[in-house]
Amino acid sequence: MNIRTVATKAYTDQKPGTSGLRKKVTIFQQPHYLENFVQAIFDSLVGLQGKTLVVGGDGRYYNRPAIQTILKMAAANGVKRVLVGRAGLLSTPAVSHLIRKQRAFGGIILSASHNPGGPDGDFGIKYNITNGGPAPESVTSAIYQRACKLSLYRIHNAPDIDLDNIGHSGIGDMEIEIVDPVTQYAQLMERLFDFNAIRTLFTSGLFTMRYDAMHAVTGPYAIEILENRLGAAQGTVINGRPLEDFGGGHPDPNLTYAPELVAIMNGARAPDFGAAADGDGDRNMILGRNFFVTPSDSLAILAANATIAPGYATGLAGVARSMPTSAAVDRVAKELGIECFETPTGWKFFGNLLDAGRVTLCGEESFGTGSNHVREKDGLWAVLFWLNILAVRRQSVEQIVQRHWAVYGRNFYTRHDYESVDATAATQLMDRLREDFPDLRGRKFGHRQVLFCDDFSYTDPVDRSVSTGQGVRIGFDNGDRIVFRLSGTGTEGATLRVYIESYEPDAAKHRQETQQALADLISIARDISRLTERTGRDTPTVIT
């Protein structure tokens, strides 16, 4: 059989976070480090032998050698068939779609999402289950427990596979199929959206767009769909070639890390519509001329306009948002008479709701929106949804958002990220906040009084599983809200995220600048947490 059993020593730092295991490339390059985690995945999956897996990634540095290792280990662990994206490329939503369409056992995604790439950058690996979504905590916990006890792994002695040409090959008894990473995903988008209406919008000569692929995985998808299938002008997609280091950039689609697109959209001759996606294609940023759409507002607007798109013409079963996301979509759900769920951060928490048919659309404030078409957030899907709305309503992005506010009111909302904070200091800040709950309840801050403060917990309405410690919430009697949370997506120190929200029903006040409108609450958040004193940080790294 030509299979080697390799003795190894367990690594105890392989605990997956909300999006799998993320570390520096140099850590993954340690002897046996990648192999140990992959073996822990295989050992934890009951019934894997004889089944099909999907494997692909965002093209970042170390993507190709990692795929070669995974293929050889899959063959040694009894996998029957593996589908791999050509050149090792598959966006995260495309992996989810392939798992579902091919009825695969699951998939392995190689990505650190929106984190920087290159030899000194970040790398990541996560497992998605049969429904196409991220592994639940029961699976990731089993993987971690196995990783802590691992003493050997199995790998096939075989030459590397040609990843660059579509076709069939194999390792031992395992079949490998190299597939076009774009075609099946593009066909799915054609079924969901009115491509004829969008094509007419592009060919009218009255509409222009820029899509920043950030030298990440969605470049080939966007060029094929936007330029080739929908007729957008050549050059609509910028930074469309995937690069191992993302061109030296930070593939995070926000106002800080997408400066080229932001400059274009704020320029004198700005296009009508701007959008960007992140490293693995599951996040999106939406822009109009000199106008930024918050992800929370984007989710609410997609929900309010959902029936415009053919794939959602019959209406929505329900909607869901992560706890830190603003309550803008809650107001839409109430108007539509549908369920609205508040979950912890992490797309896996939407999976049960989607599978049970309780929700159709879901989203997170961290630039992620999606629907029941896959079990991941989907950046390009969101862009196409917006294009469908623009094609039908024939209004500008700003007009659509402002008219939405006029109907539902505006949830002024911002997120302040403090990246690479000393992990101990960040943890102590959160602990102190929890300790301060008794003193905070009922305390007045100007015209506001603290109504409640808690550490958010969630009981899944489908399987009744309970998730605790999901973020500190401080709610005021006027509906204002402050949330503190430590993010699990970084690889250095800790990322402290502070979310500020205030609802304004008066349309005359909707044009205020966000940071100005929230200045008082921002100051209160800093005072309550004693943020500068406890972290040494005076200003956020990123404001969205």
Whole-angstrom Cα Rg for the chain: 23
How buried is residue 513: exposed, middle or buried, by Cβ count under 10 Å (0-12/13-18/19+)?
exposed
**Alpha helices (H) along 103-194:** 137-147, 183-192
d(CA 232, CA 213) in angstroms, rounded, equals 15
Which residues are identified as catalytic?
A: 113
In 3D, which of 56, 367, 345 has the Cα closest to residue 185?
Answer: 56
In 3D, which of 542, 539, 528, 475 has the Cα closest to residue 503?
Answer: 475
d(CA 44, CA 365) in angstroms, rounded, equals 32
Count of other CB atoms within 10 angstroms of residue 335: 12
The residue count for the chain:
544
Contact of 109 with 95, CB cutoff 8 Å: yes
Alpha-carbon distances of 433 from 165, 458, 479, 525, 538, rounded to whole Å: 55, 20, 20, 11, 19
Contact of 304 with 408, CB cutoff 8 Å: yes
d(CA 365, CA 498) in angstroms, rounded, equals 12
Q: Which residues contact 397 (CB under 8 A, 6 or more apart)?
A: 272, 273, 286, 287, 288, 289, 291, 293, 386, 390
Rounded to 5 degrees, φ, ψ at 327 are -85, 15
d(CA 469, CA 326) in angstroms, rounded, equals 19
**Alpha helices (H) along 305-375:** 328-336, 348-355
Residue 411: its H or E element: strand 410-421
Alpha-carbon distances of 25 from 21, 28, 241, 281, 489, rounded to whole Å: 12, 5, 21, 20, 15
Enter the DSSP assignment of 231.
-
